[in-house]
Amino acid sequence: MINSHPVINRWLTNRDRINHSLCVGIDPDMDKLPDTFPKTIDGMEQFLIHVIESTQEDCISYKPNMAFFEAMGIEGLRLLERLCKRIPDAIPIIMDGKRGDIGNTSKMQAKFIFDYFGADASTLHPYMGSDSLRPFFEYKDKMHFVLGLTSNPGSQDFEKKNMADGQPLYHTVIKQCIEWNQDYGNIGMVVGATHDELANVREIAEQLPFLIPGVGAQGGTYSHASDKGKNLDGLVLINASRAVLYPSKGISHTQAIHSIIKS
């Protein structure tokens, strides 16, 4: 094993136990809540607890998307707090908040995610540079996934724009993260599964762990993300959200997971 970070060790243990690398994204959407649950905060809580209880033996990590909870107001954040306490300690929580602001603000963001919710990892915007990310990196026992090459169409606007050296901007971001990781040892990258550049990005960053969204509802395949996204430890976190939370009628959450990992 090349990297012995405690959160990475838990991911590797889970991967070896379940023999795949799927991360379940938790994106609660009242409009998609199954009819068997009341369309209330209590109904959403019942549903999400059911999802966790159904999938905890068959996923490497959970990734709550903060925006979906924030959209439900203060009760949504209280729900997120309760939900984090229901997730088994063996399964790391990636709090998907995509934070990164001026240093003092970023420090408060990190405090909220780690000291209040007790998350094990974060997602971060790199646009404002090192002083906006350092308050997160200084949580040495946590992991931090910096947006590198995302799966949305707008990645063309900035991420794929060529710099003066002829390389796209995302190359610069990834190389900078490699440099920062030499000091902190707790940095990963978000790289979308729908991009053909995934293998190229992995060649640039052989060891950084990748969090790969875009599998399932967005059209990416698990096999491609797994084959091209693993680091030197064989670790990759492949996220699926809607496809697991809201599968077709008659398909369980666990069946949805196994359908995805066969894709």
User: Residues with Cβ < 8 Å from 10, sequence gap 6 or more?
Assistant: 90, 91, 92, 120
Give residue 216's region: left, alpha or beta (phi > 0; psi -120 to 50): left
The domain spans of the chain are 6-261
Helix or strand or coil: residue 119? coil
Q: Are 233 and 1 in contact (CB under 8 A)?
A: yes
Domain 6-261 part of CATH 3.20.20.70: yes
Buried b (16+ CB within 10 A) or exposed e, 68-81: bbeebeeebbebbe
Q: What dihedral do alpha carbons 67, 72, 75, 81 form, nearest 10°?
A: -30
What is the residue type of 212? Answer: I
* Catalytic center residues: 98
What does each of the 263 residues of the chain score in pLDDT, given as a tens digit? 555 899 999 999 999 999 999 999 999 999 999 999 999 999 999 999 999 999 999 999 999 999 999 999 999 999 999 999 999 999 999 999 999 999 899 999 999 999 999 999 999 999 999 999 999 999 999 999 999 998 888 888 999 999 999 999 999 999 999 999 999 999 999 998 766 789 889 999 999 999 999 786 666 789 999 999 999 999 999 999 999 999 988 899 999 999 999 98
DSSP codes, 67-85 = HHHHTT-HHHHHHHHHHHH
